């Protein structure tokens, strides 16, 4: 719509008063369906891994604080974001290195891609991590990373940084020492709270999940048990959500995480959802077919250790070449809390 000279002159006189005419932007603000600047994108591990390994020669974990290559969405270039609300990155820690203790209002988790004998310490308890494990560092929990092993350790970091930044509520604190003092044996949180039991003295008084380590063999066994006892979901296969056992809800208020088993030859039905999803393939290979606005289909051929992002409202479906396991995380839980979540039937 072209603006008449009379209106243009009026709009100019509004500006010094910090006023703007809604009628010029209303259709852009209240769209008939979701719009996103994020683009679907695939990161092949065979491309990312050598570049991440190279970073090990350029900078230490100590200097970097966190040696991470951000999975930066090409539609959000320069913003350090993977979707409007979510951040993902590939972090590497080398034997003997320490990524020092800090805490922040952003919530985080890591999903292990490669390596073992490195740990994340949360509030003074070390979780030794292996491929496929999920480890949480909730909002304002002290955490540091270290590595007692011999090979590079690489994991996917998932955080809600863009969402927290949107509110402006970013706070970060660095601990006075390199590492937060150890105060519990490694594995004690999962050992105590990870078996459908709760101490009768109810001693856990944080407002986040008492479990911060979800070992892959246990999650994988749950998928197998589910697969042995029911049909797969036509869109998502045998899909499980990781939960905070005290609430039964998402692992953290702003981050939801899932693990799904898709059988060999799976041809999923199309899913269209308001949750933005970031996937990491844990096992197998297949493809995800994404319908674009112009009707063209985009095909991401993925295999173990690859990551890809499906932004909000893009219709997509998964197919497999073999039994495959997909890890994913999303902002679906926080959308549900706010009454915003929708999924097409
Ligand atoms: O490991 O604490 O990818 O603070 C970004 C910010 C990882 C971490 C990231 C972080 C971390």
Alpha-helical regions (H) of 59-170? 61-64, 161-167
Q: Which residues contact 182 (CB under 8 A, 6 or more apart)?
A: 121, 124, 125, 126
220 CA from centroid of ligand 1 (Å): 26
Distance separating alpha carbons of residues 314 and 270, to the nearest angstrom: 10
Q: Which residues contact 224 (CB under 8 A, 6 or more apart)?
A: 261
Per-residue pLDDT of the chain (345 residues; tens, 9 = 90+): 688 999 999 999 999 999 999 999 999 999 999 999 999 999 999 999 999 999 999 999 999 999 999 999 999 999 999 999 999 999 999 999 999 999 999 999 999 999 999 999 999 999 999 999 999 999 999 999 999 999 999 999 999 999 999 999 999 999 999 999 999 999 999 999 999 998 888 766 778 899 999 999 999 999 999 999 999 999 999 999 999 998 899 999 999 999 999 999 999 999 999 999 999 999 999 999 999 989 999 999 999 999 999 999 999 999 999 999 999 999 999 999 999 999 999
- Does ligand 1 lie within 6 Å of residue 159's CB atom? yes
Question: Phi and psi of 256, rounded to 5°?
Answer: -110, 140
Atom of ligand 1 nearest to the CA of 145: 1
- Does ligand 1 lie within 6 Å of residue 139's CB atom? no
Task: Write the pLDDT tens digit of every residue in 288-320.
Answer: 999 998 999 999 999 999 999 999 999 999 999
Task: Write the pLDDT tens digit of every residue in 234-271.
Answer: 999 999 999 999 889 999 999 999 999 999 999 999 99
Q: Whose CA is nearest to atom 8 of ligand 1?
A: 66
Domain that holds residue 129: 35-337
Residue 110 within any structural domain of the chain = yes
Distance separating alpha carbons of residues 103 and 89, to the nearest angstrom: 18
Atom of ligand 1 nearest to the CA of 70: 3
- Does ligand 1 lie within 6 Å of residue 66's CB atom? yes
109 CA from centroid of ligand 1 (Å): 9
Q: Which of 127, 102, 101 is nearest to 116 (CA)?
A: 127
Residue 236 within any structural domain of the chain = yes
Pocket test for ligand 1, best of 159, 170, 174 (most atoms within 8 A of CB): 159
Residue 61 within any structural domain of the chain = yes
Residue 136 within any structural domain of the chain = yes
Distance separating alpha carbons of residues 42 and 39, to the nearest angstrom: 10
Distance separating alpha carbons of residues 16 and 80, to the nearest angstrom: 33
Token output for 312: 């909000």
Q: What angle do CA 164, 251, 344 make, to 5 degrees?
A: 80
- Does ligand 1 lie within 6 Å of residue 89's CB atom? yes
Stretch (H or E) spanning 122: strand 118-122
Distance separating alpha carbons of residues 228 and 206, to the nearest angstrom: 36
Distance separating alpha carbons of residues 329 and 32, to the nearest angstrom: 26
Residue 158 within any structural domain of the chain = yes
Give the pLDDT confidence score for residue 207 in this predicted structure: 80
CATH number at residue 325: 2.60.120.10
Give the pLDDT confidence score for residue 83 in this predicted structure: 98
Structural domains in the chain (count): 1
- Looking at the chain, the number of H-run helices and the number of E-run strands are 8, 20
Distance separating alpha carbons of residues 319 and 45, to the nearest angstrom: 19
Residue 60 within any structural domain of the chain = yes
Please report, to the nearest 10 degrees, the dihedral formed by the alpha carbons of residues 132, 137, 138, 144 taken in order.
180
- Does ligand 1 lie within 6 Å of residue 156's CB atom? no
Q: Which of 60, 68, 153, 160 is nearest to 109 (CA)?
A: 160
Q: Whose CA is nearest to atom 1 of ligand 1?
A: 66
Distance separating alpha carbons of residues 206 and 193, to the nearest angstrom: 13
Q: Whose CA is nearest to atom 11 of ligand 1?
A: 66
Residue 25 within any structural domain of the chain = no
Residue 268 within any structural domain of the chain = yes
- Does ligand 1 lie within 6 Å of residue 164's CB atom? no
Pocket test for ligand 1, best of 68, 106, 154 (most atoms within 8 A of CB): 68
Is residue 335 classed as helix, strand or coil in its secondary structure? helix
157 CA from centroid of ligand 1 (Å): 7
Give the pLDDT confidence score for residue 203 in this predicted structure: 67
Atom of ligand 1 nearest to the CA of 172: 4
292 CA from centroid of ligand 1 (Å): 32
Give the pLDDT confidence score for residue 246 in this predicted structure: 87
């Amino acid at each position: 719509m072209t603006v008449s000279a009379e209106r243009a002159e009026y709009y100019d006189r509004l500006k010094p008063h910090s006023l703007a005419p809604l009628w010029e932007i209303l259709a852009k603000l209240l769209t008939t369906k979701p719009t996103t600047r994020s683009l679907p994108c695939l990161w092949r591990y065979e491309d990312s891994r050598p570049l991440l390994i190279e970073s090990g020669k350029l900078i230490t974990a100590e200097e970097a604080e966190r040696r991470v290559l951000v999975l930066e969405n090409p539609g959000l270039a320069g913003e350090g974001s993977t979707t409007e609300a979510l951040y993902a990155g590939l972090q590497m820690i080398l034997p003997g290195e320490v990524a020092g203790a800090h805490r922040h209002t952003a919530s985080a988790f890591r999903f292990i891609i490669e390596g073992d004998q490195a740990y994340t310490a949360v509030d003074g308890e070390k979780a030794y991590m292996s491929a496929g494990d999920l480890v949480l560092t909730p909002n304002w929990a002290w955490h540091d990373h270290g590595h007692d092993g011999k090979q590079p350790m690489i994991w996917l970091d998932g955080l809600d940084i863009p969402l927290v930044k949107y509110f402006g509520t970013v706070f970060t604190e660095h601990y006075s020492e390199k590492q937060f003092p150890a105060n519990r044996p490694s594995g004690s949180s999962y050992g105590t709270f990870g078996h459908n039991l709760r101490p009768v003295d109810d001693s856990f008084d944080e407002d986040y999940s008492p479990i911060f380590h979800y070992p892959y063999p246990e999650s994988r066994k749950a998928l197998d048990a589910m697969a042995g006892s029911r049909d797969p979901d036509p869109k998502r296969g045998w899909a499980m959500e990781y939960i905070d056992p005290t609430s039964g809800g998402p692992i953290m208020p702003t981050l939801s995480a899932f693990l799904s088993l898709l059988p060999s030859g799976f041809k999923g039905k199309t899913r269209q959802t308001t949750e933005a999803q970031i996937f990491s393939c844990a096992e197998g290979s297949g493809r995800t077919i994404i319908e674009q606005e112009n009707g063209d289909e985009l095909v991401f051929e993925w295999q173990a250790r690859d990551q890809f992002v499906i932004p909000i409202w893009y219709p997509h479906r998964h197919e497999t070449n073999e039994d495959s396991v997909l890890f994913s995380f999303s902002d679906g839980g926080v959308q549900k809390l706010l009454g915003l979540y929708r999924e097409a039937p």
